[in-house]
Amino acid sequence: MRQSYGLMVNYLYKLDEIESNHEAYAREGKVAMSGAVRRLLKLR
């Protein structure tokens, strides 16, 4: 585990956010994620 840098993710699709999340990714490369995942990745 220390060397694998593996991460298992469960997805929760919020139907009212799918379109805006897609557009944000397509235009800016921005990936939608929860605050908990963001903290794990240390992206702020």
Tell me the three-class secondary structure of the chain, residue by residue.
CCCCCCCCCCCCCCHHHHHHHHHHHHHHCCCCCCHHHHHHHCCC
Does 1 reside within a domain? no
> Which one has a higher pLDDT value, 35 or 29?
29
Question: Is the residue at 37 inside a domain?
Answer: yes
Residue 18 maps to a domain: yes
CB-based contact 17:31 (threshold 8 Å) = no
**What does the pLDDT average to over 30-40?**
88
Q: Residue 2: inside a domain, yes or no?
A: no
Domain that holds residue 15: 8-44
Domain count, the chain: 1
Our CA angle for 13, 16, 21, nearest 5°, is: 70
Percentage of the chain beyond pLDDT 90 is 43
Domain assignment present for 3:
no
Q: 44 or 16: whose pLDDT is higher? A: 16
Q: Is residue 41 part of a domain?
A: yes
Task: Tell me: pLDDT of 1 over 70.
Answer: no
